[in-house]
Each structure stands twice: as structure tokens, then as C-alpha cells.
Amino acid sequence: MENAASRRYVFARGYIPMLKPFRRLPFAISVPGRMWCACLLAAVWLPALPARAQNEPVRVIAFGAHPDDCDLGAGGLAAKYAALGHKVKFVSLTNGDAGHQSLGGGQLAMRRRAEAQEVARRIGIEYEVLGNDDGRLLPTLEVREEVIREIRQWKADIVIGPRPNDYHPDHRYTGVLVQDASYMVIVPNIVTDTPALRRNPMFLYYSDRFTRPQAFRADIVVSIDDVYQKKVAMLDAHVSQFYEWLPWTVGQLDEVPKDPAVRKSWLATRPIAISNVRPEWRDAMEKLYGPEAQRIQHAEAFEITEYGRRPSEEEIRKLFPFFPTKWRSREPTGAISDRLHRLTCFSKLTFGCLLTS
């Protein structure tokens, strides 16, 4: 029967021989000793299994309820990735066929699909508009499986969607659908017609201003000062929305200039397009950008969800190659904390085995 004394004996029986190889250090280390050292060093210093091979493009897929939601939440981020040769796809879960004061149905859906394709052409991304009806989206199993398929086919490193707290039911259910896909993308027995991913991607939420049950938390903030005009050009392609439907909903249709060039300049001054930095994002920006954060005016912010991969700071900097490489926050970095964590696990594993063997 195992008791404290026998556990100590087992511990000593395993531990003391293991230390023997170190008695003549540094002049002679036996083969078992070398193996033990190699294991310890590997556990502490080898980087975590990389999510993707070095120099491979980052693959990002963003979901929105309507064919302009991704553009508003992550248009600047997409333009930055595309300019560096990375791969971005926007997916609208509905066809947008309810978003207009005088058009509707198939005619509006066709117009909005064409607007989305124009966005894709302007910045060099893919844009897919699914056939679900606008204003009638539900978090069904069928749509969830469509989302799982999209993420797998894109081999996504990063998946972006809205939080499931929003004024619009389509936005809410898009948040639920992406959230519900966030583990299933790695389960091979689900959606068997599309191979499962081997690693769960990082899942992010777009920023929003809703506060119940809790406010958005900015984990990653990306400056879009350098692509701000590209983001305006993306929104400008959605003529039916930014020059017709949305001004109509707030009684400002008469204020929209008729000339296409003038109305684009007008759009660039509207709060919906400006993407101003919010005060509550400043802490995250200073960690990522250091002193440069003070100069940033336009930005997009994202919250890392709890259901996807939880990246270290090191991995965030690899997946978001936009932050100053010379800057590191003074807090313990992800790389160092990862290594400390691996050392702790290794120690527990080694000595735990000795105690119970």
C-alpha cells in the first residue's frame, strides 16, 4: 500500500540516479545525462509548434451578416494584408436583399453582390455573398455547417466575426454561427465532405459599442492610417448602402452629393467611415506600437475570443506583421511566459512520474 514513506523512497530511487550524470559536470556527462539535459532544454527553449510555416501567407476569413459588414469592421486590416500578399476572404452570410428603401428581393441581392465584387477588385481580396435572406438569418445547423466549410476551405489562420450582442438579429446570429463553428472546424466527424483543420484558428470579434452583458475589449489594435483611403474606397463601392439606404434611415438622403467624386469625399468625413481611435483602445495600442501609438488616428480593434486558439504575443506579432519589430512591451512577453509555462509542465511531468511510478 502506498504511503508517504514509500513515495519518498520511489522518488529518491528515481531522482538520485538521474542526478548521477551531473556529478562530474562539466567535464563528462554520460549519455543518460545528456538526454536528460536535452529534454530539459527542448522543453524550455524550443518554440511552440508553429501554426504555419515561415513565409507562408497569413490566411484570414471574415464573416458579416450583410455585404458591407466585414468592410466596416475589418476593411483597413484586409487592405493591409492584401497589400503584403496575404490572403483575405470576406463572407456575407445573407444576400442583403432587405437593405434598401425602394429596391428589394432578387434585384437588390444582385446589386449588392456586384458591389461586393467591386470591393474585392479594388483591394485584391475574395468576397463571397451567400444566398440566405437578409433580415431572416437564423443560427441553424445548416448555416453553421456552411460557416465550418468556409473556414476549412480557406485554411484560415484567423477568423473574424461579430460579437453575439448587437442591435440587429442578423448580426447577433452571425456572431453565434461563427462562435459555434470555432471548435467544430477541427472535428473530422463533423462536415465530413470538407477535411477538418488540424489546428484551431485564432477567432476575433470586430469592435462594437454594445455594453451588455459586457463591453468589447480591445486586444489587438491595428493602425489603418496608411490604408484609410482604401477603406473609404471599399465603402464607396457599396453605393446602395452608403449613398442611399443608410442616409435614408437617418433622414439625411438629401445631404448626399450627386457627383461620384464629391460624394466619396463626403463619405470620408462621415463617422461611419472615419474609424477613429477610441480612448479605451490606447493601452492595447501602446503595448503593440510603443511610442508610435500616440500618432495613430485611424484604427481597427479586435477582441480575441475564448473559443479559438489563444496566441502568445510572439504569435500575434507573426500573424499581424504590422507592429514595430523593435518594440516589445515591458510586461513579460508571450514567448518568455510560454517558456516558463513549458518548464513548469516539464517539471510536473518528470517529478510527477517519479512520485507515482
CB of 68 to Zn ion, least distance (A): 7
> Minimum Å distance from CB 72 to Zn ion?
8
For the sheet with 220-223, list strands across it. 126-132, 87-94, 59-64, 158-161, 202-206, 299-304, 220-223
In the complex with Zn ion, which residue's Cβ is closer, 87 or 238? 238
Q: Which is nearer to Zn ion, 93 or 284 (CB)?
A: 93
Size of the site for Zn ion (CB under 5 A): 3
Cell 563528462 -> residue = 28
Nearest residue to Zn ion, using CB? 66
Q: Which stretch binds Zn ion (CB under 5 A): 8-16, 65-73, 154-162, 349-357?
A: 65-73
**Residue 16 CB: number of other CB atoms within 10 A?**
9
Q: Which of 53, 44, 15 is nearest to 357 (CA)?
A: 15
- The three cell numbers of residue 354 are 517519479
CA-CA distance, 237 to 97, in Å (whole number)?
A: 17
What minimum distance in Å lies between the beta carbon of 69 and Zn ion?
Answer: 4
Window of 67-75, 105-113, 155-163, 251-259 that interacts with Zn ion by CB under 5 A: 67-75
* String of contacts with Zn ion for each residue 12-51, x by CB under 5 A: ----------------------------------------
Q: Which amino acid is at 92?
A: S
Residues in 68-107 that interact with Zn ion by CB under 5 A? 69
List, in sequence order, every beta strand (DSSP E) within the chain: 59-64, 87-94, 126-132, 158-161, 202-206, 220-223, 299-304
CB of 76 to Zn ion, least distance (A): 18
208 contacts Zn ion (rule: CB under 5 A):
no
CB closer to Zn ion, 65 vs 202? 65
The residue range among 17-25, 37-45, 57-65, 202-210 that interacts with Zn ion, by the rule CB under 5 A, is 57-65
Q: What is the dihedral of CA 270, 273, 274, 277, to 10 degrees?
A: 130
Q: How far apart are CA 36 and CA 123, in angstroms?
A: 53
CB of 293 vs Zn ion, minimal distance in Å: 30
The cell for 27 is: 567535464
Which of 69/338 has CB closer to Zn ion? Answer: 69
Q: Nearest-CA neighbor of 247 among 137, 101, 89?
A: 101
The residues near 36 (Cβ < 8 Å, ≥ 6 apart) are 18, 21
CA distance 187 to 102: 44
- The residue among 93 and 222 lying less far from Zn ion, judged by its C-beta, is 93
Nearest distance from C-beta of residue 244 to Zn ion, angstroms: 15
For residue 115, state whether it binds Zn ion (rule: CB under 5 A): no
* Eight-state DSSP code of residue 353: H
Which CB sits closer to Zn ion, 69 or 157? 69
Q: Which of 59, 66, 112, 152 binds Zn ion (CB under 5 A)?
A: 66
> Which of these segments, 60-68, 129-137, 142-150, 194-202, binds Zn ion (CB under 5 A)?
60-68
Q: Dihedral through CA 202, CA 205, CA 206, CA 208, nearest 10?
A: -160
Q: How far is the CB of 134 from Zn ion (least distance, A)?
A: 9
**Nearest CB to Zn ion, comparing residues 124 and 247:** 247
65 binding Zn ion? (CB under 5 A): yes
- By beta-carbon proximity to Zn ion, the closer residue of 94 and 305 is 94
Residues forming the site for Zn ion (CB under 5 A): 65-66, 69
